């Protein structure tokens, strides 16, 4: 079923210089429009077979000036990304030429695509569902291998299949209610129906819970674990950042108070993506600039998923260290005892008042000692030791998480309703709501505004 009648065009490659750029057309007039600007000795695009590629030139039909030498792919409906006719013009990368080609196409009757409109058409024409469309966006934005893999799984329809199964379970219970309403003469029908509904609600609720449990992991793998390196000045925070990044990103000096501003970088530590934040050493200071830096450090400390608290074990524990040990109480943290290449002056017994020894890691950034254990400590904290269990990472999207939580609450209402002896048709309302909420994830009961809003977040030409 085609919802759109116009033909859209956009540049599908990122702006800037590249070896090639792709200008894409989708819609019923795609082939006709492209053929007006395409010239080749023998070929006519309108009679070209589907999924073929053709060499030729783009030429302005008005002044017959050559614009570029190109390869044009012809893909006819319905076996295309949008299920419409698609033309892809591979031209020589470059802003001017690519824009000229786009302008020519628009002059021949194409309309400039809105952001995400190609993917939106794929959705509206039933080729992918909403969660798959979102996966396209996630795939584009993926910053780590795991994130890309997860998005790919979702694009493949894995999440959709799971959600649809859950909806089917609920539907079966709902169908039973209908039977009950149609044949009220069977006395025990209502009892049986509520029993069945409660069982189904329980089963589906449990499965939703499993999906939600994986959400936290999913979020981390997708977005990276926001990791703040915190400590008083000169303990080696920036040195640690540089070591993990394998480059001299942050300035390191023996002057306390070297780092003034937050530095953020992504790094993949044995499969765990970290968004590392190096901060200014926390201390009382009169320096105007440093003050602002310290305030930012405290803010980063609050916002982080993980805190790497760095202490200098070649000095006795300082009041600032103790303050930070207290401030990070109850957060996910690892305390790094740095500079183990120097003699130790830190009282371990005293330190153990503040922190579980399992979370302590003696290191030397200078000699690189002990750092190989850091990744393991992090995975222990967040993944019970295991990273990237493929099966556990389907949910990562905030919208999905919210809907799953709401669906879960509706099922709770079903169960309490039954326990309180509510009439079955009232319980049915809650179960139907849960079924609808799950449907929103895959777009089966998604309101139009949602669809519009979601696709508007895409980049142009996608
Ligand atoms: N001996 C020794 N020195 C180290 C080690 N790690 C860092 N240093 C030194 O400690 C000094 C401070 O290092 P930085 O990384 O700048 O410390 P910082 O915590 O970022 O300091 P601020 O930015 O001022 O808060 C530098 O002279 C480093 O070379 C280590 O493991 N052993
Ligand atoms: Mg620093």
**Pocket probe mutation, ligand 1, options 231, 234, 368, max atoms within 8 Å of Cβ:** 234
- Judge if the beta carbon of residue 283 lies within 6 A of ligand 1: no
The pLDDT of residue 46:
93
Question: CA 235, CA 282: separation in Å to the nearest integer?
Answer: 11
The confidence score (pLDDT) of residue 451 equals: 73
Res 215: pLDDT: 72
Q: Is the CB of 95 under 6 A from ligand 1?
A: no
Residues of the chain with pLDDT under 50: 1-2, 388-393
User: Rounded to the nearest whole angstrom, what is the distance from the C-alpha of residue 245 to the centroid of ligand 2?
Assistant: 14
Query: Does the beta carbon of 293 sit less than 6 angstroms from any atom of ligand 1?
Result: no
List the beta bridge partners of residue 306. 227
- Is the minimum distance from the CB of 287 to ligand 1 under 6 angstroms? no
Distance, CA of 35 to CA of 42 (rounded, Å): 12
Q: Which atom of ligand 1 is found nearest the CA of 260?
A: 23
Ligand 1 closest atom vs CA 338: 31
The whole-number pLDDT of residue 391 equals: 46
Distance of alpha carbon 210 from alpha carbon 218, whole angstroms: 12
- Is the minimum distance from the CB of 462 to ligand 1 under 6 angstroms? no
Pocket of ligand 1 contains residue 365 by CB under 6 Å: yes
What pLDDT does 53 receive? 96
User: What's residue 317's pLDDT?
Assistant: 94
- Return the residue matching tokens 């540089």: 242
- Give the C-alpha separation, 103 to 33, whole Å: 12
pLDDT of residue 326: 95
Does residue 252 have its Cβ closer than 6 Å to ligand 1? yes
- 455 CA distance to ligand 1 middle (Å): 47
Ligand 2 center–CA 257 separation, angstroms: 7
Query: How far apart, in Å, are the Cα atoms of 238 and each of 247, 257, 278, 321?
Result: 11, 11, 6, 17
Position in ligand 1 atom list of the atom nearest CA 342: 1
Contact 353, 346 (CB under 8 A): no
Atom of ligand 1 nearest to the CA of 259: 23
Cα 114 to middle of ligand 2, angstroms: 44
pLDDT on residue 185: 62
Let me know: does 15 contact 75? Beta carbons within 8 Å: no
The 10 Å Cβ neighbour count of residue 257 is 18
Q: Would the CB of 259 count as within 6 Å of ligand 1?
A: yes
The dihedrals phi and psi of 275, each to the nearest 5 degrees, come to -100, 100
State residue 393's pLDDT score: 47
From residue 105, how far is each of 13, 87, 88, 109, 384 by CA, in Å?
16, 11, 12, 7, 55
- Ion ligand 2: protein residues whose beta carbon lies under 5 Å: 237-238, 258-259
Give how far Cα 449 sits from Cα of 119, 361, 445, 446, Å. 16, 50, 12, 8
SS (H, E, C) the chain: CCCCCCCEEEECCCCCCCCEEEEEEECCCHHHHHHHHEECCCCCHHHCCCCEEEEEEEECCCCCCEEEEEEEEEECCCCCCCCCCEEEEEEECCHHHHHHHHHHHHHCCCEECCCCHHHHHHHHCCCCCHHHHHHHHHHHHCCCHHHHHHHHHHHCCHHHHHHHHHHHHHHHHHHHHHHHHHCCCCCCHHHHHHHHHHHHHHHHHHHHHHHHHHHHHHHHHHHCEEEEEECCCCCCHHHHHHHHHCCCCCCCCCCCCCCCCCEEEEEEECCEEEEEEECCCCCCCCCHHHHHHHHHHHHHHHHCCEEEEEEECCCCCCHHHHHHHHHCCCCCEEEEEECCCCCCCCCHHHHCCCCCHHHEEECECCCCECHHHHHHHHHHHHHCCCCCCHHHCCCCCHHHHHHHHHHHHHHHHHHHHHHCCCCHHHHHHHHHHHHHHHHHHHCCCCCHHHHHHHHHCCCCCC
How many residues belong to the chain?
462
Q: How far apart are the first and last CA of the chain?
A: 21
Q: Which atom of ligand 1 is nearest to the CA of 235?
A: 19
pLDDT at residue number 30: 97
Instruction: Kindly report, residue by residue over 96-132, the tens digit of the pLDDT.
Output: 899 999 999 999 999 999 888 898 889 888 888 888 8
Predicted confidence at residue 385, as pLDDT, reads 53
Domains identified in the chain and CATH numbers: 8-129 (3.30.1360.120), 137-220+397-443 (1.20.120.430), 224-390 (3.40.50.300)
How many whole angstroms separate alpha carbon 236 and alpha carbon 249? Answer: 14
């Amino acid at each position: 079923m085609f919802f759109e009648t116009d033909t859209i065009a956009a540049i599908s490659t990122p702006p800037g210089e590249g070896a090639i750029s792709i200008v894409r057309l989708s819609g019923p007039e795609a082939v006709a429009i492209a053929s007006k600007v395409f010239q080749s000795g023998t070929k006519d695009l309108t009679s070209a077979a589907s999924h073929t590629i053709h060499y030729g030139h783009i030429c302005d039909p008005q002044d017959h000036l050559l614009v570029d030498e190109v390869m044009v792919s012809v893909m006819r409906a319905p076996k295309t990304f949008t299920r419409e006719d698609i033309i892809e013009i591979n031209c020589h990368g470059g802003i001017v030429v690519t824009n000229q080609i786009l302008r020519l196409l628009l002059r021949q009757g194409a309309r400039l695509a809105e952001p995400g409109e190609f993917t939106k058409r794929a959705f509206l024409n039933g080729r992918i569902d909403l969660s798959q469309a979102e996966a396209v966006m996630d795939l584009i934005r993926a910053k780590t291998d795991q994130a890309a893999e997860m998005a790919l799984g979702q694009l493949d329809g894995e999440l959709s299949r799971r959600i649809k199964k859950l909806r089917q379970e609920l539907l079966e219970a709902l169908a039973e209610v209908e039977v009950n309403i149609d044949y009220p003469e069977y006395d025990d029908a209502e009892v049986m129906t509520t029993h069945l509904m409660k069982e189904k609600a329980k089963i589906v609720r449990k499965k939703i819970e499993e999906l939600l449990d994986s959400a936290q992991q999913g979020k981390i793998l997708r977005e990276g674990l926001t990791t703040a390196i915190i400590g008083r000045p000169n303990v080696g925070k920036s040195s640690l950042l540089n070591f993990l990044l394998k480059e001299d990103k942050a300035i390191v000096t023996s002057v306390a108070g070297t780092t003034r501003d937050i530095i953020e970088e992504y790094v993949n530590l044995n499969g765990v993506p970290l968004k590392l934040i190096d901060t200014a050493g926390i201390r009382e200071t009169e320096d105007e600039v440093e003050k602002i830096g310290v305030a930012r450090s405290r803010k980063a400390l609050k916002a982080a998923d993980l805190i790497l608290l760095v202490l200098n074990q070649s000095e006795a524990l300082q009041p600032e260290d103790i303050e930070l040990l207290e401030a990070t109480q109850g957060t996910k943290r690892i305390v790094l005892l740095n500079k183990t290449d120097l003699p130790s002056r830190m009282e371990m017994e005293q330190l153990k008042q503040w922190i579980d020894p399992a979370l302590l890691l003696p290191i030397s950034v200078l000699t690189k000692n002990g750092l190989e254990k850091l990744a393991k400590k992090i995975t222990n904290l967040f993944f019970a030791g295991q990273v990237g269990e493929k099966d556990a990472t389907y949910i990562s999207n905030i919208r999905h998480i919210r809907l799953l939580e709401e669906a879960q609450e509706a099922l709770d209402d079903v169960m309490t309703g039954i326990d309180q002896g509510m009439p079955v048709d009232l319980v049915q309302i809650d179960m139907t709501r849960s079924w609808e909420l799950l449907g929103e994830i895959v777009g089966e009961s998604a309101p139009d505004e949602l669809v519009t809003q979601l696709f508007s977040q895409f980049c142009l030409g996608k």
